[in-house]
Amino acid sequence: MTTVLILGANGKIARLAEDQLLKQTDVNMKLFLRKASRMQTSDSSRQTVVEGDATVKSDLVDALAGVDVVYANLAGSNIEQQAKAVVQAMDEAGVKRLIWISTLGIYDEVPGKYGEWNHQMLDGGYLETYSAAAKVIESSDLDYTIIRPAWLSNNDIISYETTRKGEPFKGTEVSRKSIADIVVKHIVDPSQDVHESLGVNQPGTDGDKPSFY
C-alpha cells in the first residue's frame, strides 16, 4: 500500500487531491502542515496529521518515515529554502519520489502576449524564486516530477493537457481540480514522468490573459 507525504496539506490544491485520494484510491496519507489543529481528517485509518515546517529539515525527516512518495504543494517567498530542505531531508531519509508543484513561466516558456503579461504579473520575486526552487529539485538525484500549472481557477472541471520542458506553454488557465487529478494519477502510478517538468493547461484557453482577468 502506498503512503504519500503531502507537504502543505492544507493548501487549496492539496485539499482537493486529498479528497480524490480518499474517494478513488487506497493510498495512505501523511498530512504535513504548519498549525496541525486546522486540519480535519475524514478517515483517520488512512490519514495522519503531522505538524511541521517545510524549511526545517528535521521536521521533514521525521515525517518521511514509512513514506513512498512526497507531494509538495508549497508556496511562499522562501520556496527555494523549502526546496533545499525537502531535497536534503529526502536524501537523508532515502525517499526518492517527489511531485513538486511549481508555476508556469519558470523557464520563460510562455509565448506571445500572454508570456509578456505573465512576466508583468509575476516578475519581481515570484517567478525568480520559483525558478530557483525548480533548479534545486532538478539538480538533485531525486525521482522528481515538476508540475507547472497555468493560472489557477476554482472551476468545477477536470480538463487538462500537458507540455514538456523545452516546449512552449499552451493555454492560459487550468482548474485546481485538474492539478489535483494529475497529482493523484502520479501518486497512484509514480513510474510516470520521472525527471520531467510538465506544463498543465486547460485545452482551448489560448489568449492574452486568463478568462477571469
Ligand X SMILES: NC(=O)c1ccc[n+]([C@@H]2O[C@H](COP(=O)([O-])OP(=O)(O)OC[C@H]3O[C@@H](n4cnc5c(N)ncnc54)[C@H](OP(=O)(O)O)[C@@H]3O)[C@@H](O)[C@H]2O)c1
From 6, 17, 21, 54, residue interacting with ligand X (rule: CB under 6 A):
54
Site string (140-179) toward ligand X, x via CB under 6 A: ---------x-xx-----------------------x---
From 22, 36, 39, 75, residue interacting with ligand X (rule: CB under 6 A):
75
Q: Note whether 8 binds ligand X by CB under 6 A.
A: yes
Q: Note whether 77 binds ligand X by CB under 6 A.
A: no
Closer to ligand X at the Cβ: 55 or 162? 55
Q: How far is the CB of 122 from ligand X (least distance, A)?
A: 9
- Amino acid in the structure at residue 176: R
From 73, 129, 172, 175, residue interacting with ligand X (rule: CB under 6 A):
73
Q: Note whether 10 binds ligand X by CB under 6 A.
A: yes
SS3 per residue for the chain? CCEEEEECCCCHHHHHHHHHHHHHCCCEEEEEECCHHHCCCCCCCCEEEEECCCCCHHHHHHHCCCCCEEEECCCCCCHHHHHHHHHHHHHHHCCCEEEEECCCCCCCCCCHHHHHHHHHHHCCCHHHHHHHHHHHHHCCCCEEEEEEECEEECCCCCCCEEEECCCCCCCCEEEHHHHHHHHHHHHHCCCCCCCEEEEEECCCCCCCCCCCC
Q: Segment near ligand X (CB under 6 A), from 51-59, 90-98, 108-116, 187-195?
A: 51-59
Q: Note whether 13 binds ligand X by CB under 6 A.
A: yes
Within a 10 A sphere around the Cβ of 74, how many other Cβ atoms? 20
Cell of 191: 513510474
Closer to ligand X at the Cβ: 61 or 74? 74
Q: Note whether 101 binds ligand X by CB under 6 A.
A: yes
Q: How far is the CB of 102 from ligand X (least distance, A)?
A: 7
How far apart are alpha carbons 213 and 209 in whole angstroms? Answer: 6
Beta carbons of 60 and 86 less than 8 angstroms apart: yes
Q: Note whether 103 binds ligand X by CB under 6 A.
A: yes
From 6, 27, 31, 33, residue interacting with ligand X (rule: CB under 6 A):
33
Q: Note whether 12 binds ligand X by CB under 6 A.
A: yes
Q: Which residues bind ligand X (CB under 6 A)?
A: 8, 10-14, 33-34, 53-55, 73-76, 82, 101, 103-104, 149, 151-152, 176
